[in-house]
């Protein structure tokens, strides 16, 4: 089981914001949904556009390009044209830092 690694500071992701980070070459998007930080793979499963360019709506992230939506917690596809879920990563906040486990 791999370890939790720090990818950002808690202040870097304010309420309702998205932030794209990289860990070991993997592109990850961090989302602050009602104070909780969640992490997903930063690539829409429709046409590979970065989800970090989109916006958070009601616990989902909406892709800027065609409006596809994914559940922030599970990564499940919630609106077409996405049909495949996006990978979700374990994420926690410790001592003000955001840590993700790949």
The site for another protein (CB under 8 A) is made up of 62-69, 78-81, 83-84
| Among 78, 16, 85, 12, CA closest to 45 | 85
User: Which of residues 25 and 96 has its CB atom nearest to another protein in the complex?
Assistant: 25
Phi then psi dihedrals of residue 10, to 5 deg: -60, -35
* Minimum distance of another protein from residue 89's CB (angstroms): 21
d(CA 20, CA 45): 16
User: Which of residues 66 and 73 has its CB atom nearest to another protein in the complex?
Assistant: 66
User: Which of residues 41 and 69 has its CB atom nearest to another protein in the complex?
Assistant: 69
Going by the DSSP 8-state scheme, the letter that residue 64 receives in this structure is: T
| Among 77, 93, 82, CA closest to 30 | 93
* Minimum distance of another protein from residue 101's CB (angstroms): 25
User: Which of residues 37 and 40 has its CB atom nearest to another protein in the complex?
Assistant: 40
- What is the separation of C-alpha 102 from the centre of its chain, rounded to a whole number of angstroms? 13
* Minimum distance of another protein from residue 61's CB (angstroms): 13
């Amino acid at each position: 089981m791999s370890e939790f690694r720090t990818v950002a500071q808690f202040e870097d992701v304010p309420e309702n914001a998205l932030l794209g980070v990289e860990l070991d070459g993997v592109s990850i998007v961090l989302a602050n949904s009602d104070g909780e930080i969640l992490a997903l793979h930063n690539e829409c499963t429709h046409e590979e556009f970065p989800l970090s360019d989109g916006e958070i709506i009601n616990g989902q992230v909406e892709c800027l390009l065609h409006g596809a939506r994914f559940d922030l917690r599970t990564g499940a596809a919630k609106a077409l044209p996405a049909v495949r879920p996006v990978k979700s990563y374990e994420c926690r906040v410790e001592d003000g830092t955001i840590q993700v486990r790949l």
